[in-house]
Structure 1
């Protein structure tokens, strides 16, 4: 089966992309509204987005501040909300007219433009079509099938958007069936944070709070593109720069969101068009070069410390840190030539960054998937922590480590039990609260699920949202195996390509979106979400549902559990469905230290902070102290790549949220028209004997036993380091080998794949 095609058009590169924000942001929102016709009620929804007792945005995990702005949303949040509230409907009649095979050839954008799913659907292999079904029929059939399948051969995947209430029940449901196979989207992106950060500071999440961004005087920003992926952070970044904070950026691409910002909520900015210059220094590291670049920064700081008494926070290092002398010895033994070669930046650039760090009183390290989706991503996180520890920049005001999350509740899902690791599950309190004996074996993460799938050992898949088959690596191998499962169940709002890989029995169960009313026995329901600062907030939808047949994620999980499990007086699925406050009582009983009095506290402005011991300089590490680490490599990418290979970086466009593609424009990179492109530096294009506009094929250089290729890619010049090629996710995921993964977390290493070019 060939991959779905993107409509042909010309991709055009603009030499100097516009600043993030500004009129372009408003035009992007307007274009989405015109395409979706969400209606006048959408404006009211946007007005209440990310406000107390309003609706929590689904586009990212940024904070809901206690004192919100008049418009507390960004371009991406508006697009995601308007996309949810579209007037288009994907009805059973649509599926009567199209076979699954014919729909596969459409692009992601074309599929989603059919609109919201309206009724449950059952796949009919004889006609190769999805057919209308009733909820009773769906629950009975799925329940009967789940009772027949070995629990070890099931996977319950969660995409990261579902709120805490359905997430808690989903995890409990899986364990009641007898398995811990609970992968989620963090396995694809920030799982490296959960294991890498925990190893060095004892916390699997960031240590910062919003007020720290108001007090820092330097920010080291690595491997994250705020203009496209989390525009709301641009406001505090702009405010920080205006009060004198210096931002040092490490990123292979020169991203507009880290260069300049025009605040759409500032009348002066909009009238004058004057942009705020954000990055004081911009180090265009080669993919994976952050380890060496940060080592160079640390090396310069230590050199200055030999001349400047008190530059290092020696008191903090002595009282709170372990491994400092080994780290110092590593820096002394590593020469500048090696650091320049591995990082792709000059000694002068690293020293300039070191001066910013040394001169700052309070420093925050912010990072994204450019750091984590590498073979040695956990060592890159360790190097950032090394830098912060030198001057005590963790556990005091204006300082700390702050990973930027994507999905709006992916961190929260982990918090309430969606994990494949028994050690991280609330085993004891499950026993007390639910009378549940947790299965003793670890389950599988996303990568292990894919391996089991290829081996024919995974027979059932239940997806709580998402488009996993397109988000994963190795499309050629994975897609062939996906259809061989006995049962595939998709809890979804819109049609996507994963639904078009039906198992022998397949169901699509349409659900509400977060901005819609969720009416149950006790009335319209609140749900709760957790942001990347570990705050818990309430969220309520107020729009009328897109169809009278839709159910909430919570209701679907409760009904599936009733149909699949034996009766148990302690498993009160009807009561939990009827009043979500009862589920929050379960969460509070299961996690009493963090979630006590949850149902009241989540409504207060800014929600409630569930705490972070590393912020208090309490280190839950093996040594009981914050760990300086001695890196084993200078570049976080593959170490055995051949000299003639390039490193592939996969990207999202400005008109995209994960696998959801809103349109064909990438405004902040100055690109438009198509997504089948390969970005390379002009000098690289010339060196390789290529021409702008030429069509090429990229072939994976890792794992030569299996050919992985994507053809028809148009060469487009872009400001990139030598030896680098960049292109869009998920179109280029077929080039990412499943075997190329981060050493500790098993996360696919999608930001440094060795590839070759076939012209």
Structure 2
């Protein structure tokens, strides 16, 4: 199978806006390539609608009433990817060995199409062969029984429904462990840790209608045009109201600059567009902590000056006194921090930082929106807490139009945590499960993603069950992980398409179990089933698939989890896996009984138009912290990167393309960055290219500079001129994950620090050689 890229990549600046005709052309291009049937048009009209299905890509909230087309370019691609007419049948594996497939790219593997039959790896032929479902379950159960439960990992990717996720965590805990890492460990765990400590809840406090009430937005480290384009509608509406959007992001990203609404006939006909960011500050990688320190310093010192002259206060002293703890030492730290230090760490001038602070000082209701540009740093938790500090200074939590708004990735990654997918005992309803199901749940902390990787590498992890995802490509330390993976006793992969995770077989046994997609009709004994997901703003939505399944041999994720559980666990009169599989409403009843705080009357509330909000104490200014108040954090420094600058050392920012969702690559066209036909690029600014003695188009090798004596390299990267801060470079994820040391992660949260990776350029070849 040929790779979909040109022999000579085309790289030229993109001058258009986000959205517009470019989005429509991009969607039109993928539909024939995926060989989707004409029914996809009807399915797209149901996407993100109350009586339709929840998008399988991002977790941005669903508007109600919805737009006519409540999907974006990326969402349409995700739907086409799932409803593809291409198939990966058993005949494919008779023709291709896993050794051969390890030479394929990520795009080639997934582009071959939907998996159709349950498979088991045959080491004698180096191929997958078919296996009956019940045989697979029996063998998996037997192998799991033969190992120490603490040596097994149950990973969840973030796309599985609340119903499946609840059964999955129950399976793991009844088996005997809390090794439940998930994709949140790789992205927003810094949010979960930081917000929980600061305001008592591990999630944001905002809802979609807060965009209608805010009068300023602080936007940190999130590429809306690629990662959550539907948010552009809210940003566009805010800008039409005159709201200022102040953006801090290392790269110039088109979605944060200009947007043409594809659903606005006048804009499409006239080429009209909306300017999104009123201020755009290219902070250097890891410099957000310094920027926020500078804003806080300006506010506090302006307030000091105002109070000294009987002027109007800048800070909300009433809120601070009633609702916060730790303000005095925080304020003293801000006053004592010098501007020279702040400017050096931020990579911005003092006037630039103060221009943002002045807007914030005048605004009455401010949203703090952020993504992994804050969380994926060594000081990622401090980044999150520093944003909370800013919001607390002017009472911007618990009022309309204000609060922290973390933008989650996978469509149900936040919801999985709500129903118990976590390695942390304090976040799971263990006592309630013990009482309801009559078993003693494990209480010791389980393995998170970094700890699970350590276990794979050192051999202490013996079995790995994956509920979706492409774990081997998503995590750092790629080479060591693949070597360790090959020594596992058991690998079980629940998936819709083939990916890298599936073609590195375990030494013991490897099973590839194909599941229904969310958009497909899930018919069980009780009839067609509805599942549920939670969006980034804590709203629960129903999702109803009705597309014809890719194969009659597929089973739902829920049925697969229950099948493994029945083969593995002893009978329990309080647990009826078979009945739950037949009627998902029964699972929702279980969730409501065990987690009534959020899910009381779960089934009845699914009828609420636009979904139902599970509630959020911090949004009510009820702080579930030890002090009973929101906590100010005194930052430990100004640089979130966790390493010092040095001659020849760059800060690598790993990024996604416009043709990608997480590890899924839809194609080789990163339209907004003007890159077509390749993903093997390294983005550098002109000055850094010249200082390094390089030229645009030159092929280079990057090497990790983690300082641990390990050699990690990625070769074949084309130097590409782009607007990036001095000393910073950018390249695509997951291609550059091999450069990330496993121990280069956020303190406290263990999120891989993929937005500031220390690297060097070690080899280069002349252009055309």
Q: With structure 1 as the length reference, what TM-score do the two structures score?
A: 0.98
Q: Which residue of structure 2 lines up, in the alignment, with residue 141 of structure 1?
A: 139
Distance in structure 2 (CA, Å) of the matches to 1:432 and 1:629:
38
Aligned 8 A contact 1:647 1:723 in 2: yes
**Comparing 328-337 and 170-179, the one that deviates more:** 328-337
Q: Which residue of structure 2 lines up, in the alignment, with residue 651 of structure 1?
A: 655
Aligned 8 A contact 1:641 1:702 in 2: no
Is the counterpart of residue 603 in structure 1 residue 601 in structure 2? no
Could you list the per-position Cα deviations for residues 243-296 of structure 1 after superposition, in whole angstroms to 9, with x for gaps in the alignment? 010000000001101000000111111111111001010110000100111111
Distance in structure 1 (CA, Å) of the matches to 2:288 and 2:753:
15
Q: How far did 1:6 drift?
A: 8.7
Could you list the per-position Cα deviations for residues 223-261 of structure 1 after superposition, in whole angstroms to 9, with x for gaps in the alignment? 000100000000000000000100000000011010000
Q: Which residue of structure 2 lines up, in the alignment, with residue 459 of structure 1?
A: 462
Q: Which residue of structure 1 lines up, in the alignment, with residue 740 of structure 2?
A: 736
Q: How far did 1:744 drift?
A: 1.0
Is the counterpart of residue 189 in structure 1 residue 187 in structure 2? yes
Distance in structure 1 (CA, Å) of the matches to 2:598 and 2:185:
24
Could you list the per-position Cα deviations for residues 421-451 of structure 1 after superposition, in whole angstroms to 9, with x for gaps in the alignment? 1121111110122222101221100100010
Q: Which residue of structure 1 lines up, in the alignment, with residue 372 of structure 2?
A: 369
Aligned 8 A contact 1:10 1:672 in 2: no
Q: Which residue of structure 1 lines up, in the alignment, with residue 667 of structure 2?
A: 663
Distance in structure 2 (CA, Å) of the matches to 1:549 and 1:96:
18
Is the counterpart of residue 560 in structure 1 residue 571 in structure 2? no
Could you list the per-position Cα deviations for residues 3-34 of structure 1 after superposition, in whole angstroms to 9, with x for gaps in the alignment? x9996643443334421100000111111101
Q: Which residue of structure 2 lines up, in the alignment, with residue 171 of structure 1?
A: 169
Report SS of the residue matched to 1:279.
Answer: coil
Q: Which residue of structure 2 lines up, in the alignment, with residue 121 of structure 1?
A: 119
Give the alignment of 1:228-627 within 5 angstroms: 228-305=226-303, 306-307=305-306, 308-503=311-506, 504-627=508-631
Report SS of the residue matched to 2:30.
Answer: helix
Distance in structure 1 (CA, Å) of the matches to 2:212 and 2:11:
36
Could you list the per-position Cα deviations for residues 720-754 of structure 1 after superposition, in whole angstroms to 9, with x for gaps in the alignment? 00000100000000000001010010111011011
Is the counterpart of residue 752 in structure 1 residue 756 in structure 2? yes
Aligned 8 A contact 1:515 1:543 in 2: yes
Could you list the per-position Cα deviations for residues 373-424 of structure 1 after superposition, in whole angstroms to 9, with x for gaps in the alignment? 0000111111111111111111001100000000000000000011111121
Could you list the per-position Cα deviations for residues 658-699 of structure 1 after superposition, in whole angstroms to 9, with x for gaps in the alignment? 111000000111111101110000111001111111111101
Q: How far did 1:640 drift?
A: 4.0
- What RMSD, in angstroms, separates the aligned Cα atoms of the two structures? 1.2
Q: With structure 2 as the length reference, what TM-score do the two structures score?
A: 0.97
Q: Which residue of structure 1 lines up, in the alignment, with residue 19 of structure 2?
A: 21
Aligned 8 A contact 1:537 1:603 in 2: no
Distance in structure 2 (CA, Å) of the matches to 1:107 and 1:593:
45
Q: Which residue of structure 2 lines up, in the alignment, with residue 47 of structure 1?
A: 45
**Comparing 461-470 and 377-386, the one that deviates more:** 377-386
Aligned 8 A contact 2:283 2:346 in 1: yes
Distance in structure 1 (CA, Å) of the matches to 2:422 and 2:412:
14
Distance in structure 2 (CA, Å) of the matches to 1:701 and 1:421:
32
Aligned 8 A contact 2:292 2:386 in 1: yes
User: Runs of 4+ in structure 1 displaced over 4 angstroms?
Assistant: 4-8
Aligned 8 A contact 1:143 1:564 in 2: yes
Could you list the per-position Cα deviations for residues 292-342 of structure 1 after superposition, in whole angstroms to 9, with x for gaps in the alignment? 111111222223322342221110011111111111111111111111100
Distance in structure 1 (CA, Å) of the matches to 2:751 and 2:259:
32
Out of 619, 628, 633, the position equivalent to 1:629 is 633
Report SS of the residue matched to 2:452.
Answer: helix
Q: Which residue of structure 2 lines up, in the alignment, with residue 210 of structure 1?
A: 208
Q: Which runs of 5+ in 1 are unaligned?
A: none
Q: Which residue of structure 2 lines up, in the alignment, with residue 156 of structure 1?
A: 154
Q: Which runs of 5+ in 2 are unaligned?
A: 765-769
**Comparing 322-331 and 264-273, the one that deviates more:** 322-331
Distance in structure 1 (CA, Å) of the matches to 2:420 and 2:85:
35
Could you list the per-position Cα deviations for residues 159-197 of structure 1 after superposition, in whole angstroms to 9, with x for gaps in the alignment? 000000000000000011111110000000000000011
Aligned 8 A contact 2:371 2:408 in 1: yes
Report SS of the residue matched to 1:231.
Answer: coil
Give the alignment of 1:106-117 within 5 angstroms: 106-117=104-115
